[in-house]
Structure 1
Amino acid sequence: MTTISQARPSLTNNDAAVLQALFDAESSPSSGVTVDSSLPPWPATVNISQADFNALKARETQIILKLQTTETPTQETVQSALEELNALLEEYPTYPPAYTNRAQTLRLLADLQYNQRHTDAEPSRTETNTDESLFTPEAADLSSRIFADLGKAITLATPASPADPISSVQARLLADAHTHRGYLLLKAARVKKTRSEREVENVGPERLRGHSADRLEEMASRDFFFGGRYGNKVAQQLAVQTNPYAKMCGAIVKEAMRKEMEG
């Protein structure tokens, strides 16, 4: 755990407490979430019985296993998995995990399509940066669908009140979905910072294109905060790194330390 010492220039107790909260990921109010393992997997609003949940989980597992039989599945295999997930969601449109799994499957499809385009253009090329696969004009529809699915899963799984206890299944999904979306928002922010305005004009979901890189990073930080709040340790660290107030205070502290050393 990071500690803030009161070296010169001296800090008041209140200042030290504020800095401690900003820089220490463990100070995130994850204790505000009550996880009750005795609760049903999903709240009543999801309207899925325990029996249906067990059957859906088994069905979903079979779909995902098809994607894991080889190190790199074919586009045909991925498309088949997407069709099965679409069918499952048509029958059970309030089942949150199918949305997060469909988002992951769509990301896999974006990677495969990106690799295929670059291999066709440069046959001798053996490695491609699939981290950029969602941030091309060709992938705009896929990225929109991914953000929509992650948003839907989060909406369905989020408790009506922050004080409401949640199941361990619910907490895990919310942690993963918020962290996944935060990562994509952070990537979108970095793409916006490193490419020209013309290059990013038709990149990513249309609803995000009008946002600045700093605004996208703030949105990512918020998702990382919630990902950490629901139990994802990596998200807790990323929430601190992307928090605009933490970064601002970090710059102030660094400048104060530099001046002290020079003096």
Structure 2
Amino acid sequence: MPSNNTSSSACSAPPNPSAHDSNLVDILFTSALDGEYVRDQISGTYSEYTPHQDNGQVTPSNSDDVAPFQISDSQLVELQGLERRAILAAERDGDIKGAISQLTQIIHDCPAYASAYNNRAQALRLDGADPSAVLADLDSAIRYAQDDKTLGQAFTQKGIVIKAMEGDQDEVFNCFAQGAKCGNEVARLAMAKENPYAKMCGKIVTEAMRQLRTTSSPRS
């Protein structure tokens, strides 16, 4: 995955989040994640599916080795309806396993429908599934995604999962950077929090302030 860690100034100040933004970022990395963020994230990822089309074929924009596939308008409407039912099973009825089963059937019927992978990854997280299964679905969502919303959510979820696993921090940052590039608000905030340059500069400033306080303290 290409790195987006370049910066014109190594110590450029990160975005200054508002109190609301700070609260949202805190939700990302606490136990509240599986309540507030997941409940928001799982809903409606199908709603802005805008594929890049060429003579009726949909060509995945995120992988050169995936063959073009076709999703007709009528099939897309049907998939979205089935996906809504799966989401409602999780959100309204609390039937996470039922939602997983329904989403799995959607994926079986249309293996290149990215949004179903994205939502199944959410449901698997809520069900406490092995992170490797979640990441496999997110990689499939990224592989097949044709709209920025689904792609951004998949990258954002992936960053959160890898961070929770205490995985490679560069990969975490890159996932959030990709999510932010797709317009995902949560990824934008998380990216600012995880920016390695900001972390490095923060440590430098903290150490400089500590030394300044030490040297300026009156000696007895």
TM-score after normalising by structure 2: 0.65
Extract unaligned runs of 5+ from structure 1: 1-14, 27-38, 111-138, 159-169, 190-212
Cα distance in structure 1, aligned partners of 2:192 and 2:164: 16
1:69 aligns with 2:60: no
Measured against aligned partners, the alpha-carbon deviations of 1:135-192 in whole angstroms (never above 9, x if no partner) come to: xxxx5xx32211100111011126xxxxxxxxxxx11111211111111111111xxx
Report the Cα offset of residue 17 of structure 1: 4.3
Measured against aligned partners, the alpha-carbon deviations of 1:202-259 in whole angstroms (never above 9, x if no partner) come to: xxxxxxxxxxx5xx22211111111111112222222122222321122123323444
SS in 2 for 1:57: helix
Structure-2 change in CA distance of 1:67 and 1:40 (3 Å): closer
SS in 2 for 1:19: coil
Residue in structure 2 matching 1:224, options 159, 176, 181: 176
Match of 1:182 in 2: 159
Cα distance in structure 2, aligned partners of 1:102 and 1:171: 18
Match of 1:148 in 2: 136
Residue in structure 1 matching 2:104, options 61, 71, 86: 86
Tell me how large the CA RMSD over aligned residues is.
2.7
Counterpart amino acid of residue 84 in structure 2: T
Q: Is the 8 A contact 1:40 1:50 kept in 2?
A: no
Within 5 Å, give how 1:82-161 maps onto structure 2: 82-110=100-128, 139=129, 142-157=130-145
Counterpart amino acid of residue 207 in structure 2: E
Match of 2:78 in 1: 55
TM-score after normalising by structure 1: 0.55
Cα distance in structure 2, aligned partners of 1:143 and 1:100: 14
Q: Is the 8 A contact 1:99 1:150 kept in 2?
A: yes
Cα distance in structure 1, aligned partners of 2:100 and 2:49: 27
Report the Cα offset of residue 108 of structure 1: 2.0
Measured against aligned partners, the alpha-carbon deviations of 1:29-56 in whole angstroms (never above 9, x if no partner) come to: xxxxxxxxxx971231252123321221
Cα distance in structure 2, aligned partners of 1:97 and 1:25: 32
Match of 1:126 in 2: none
Q: Is the 8 A contact 1:176 1:227 kept in 2?
A: yes
Match of 1:116 in 2: none
Larger helix fraction of residues: 1
Structure-2 change in CA distance of 1:40 and 1:61 (3 Å): closer
Counterpart amino acid of residue 51 in structure 2: W
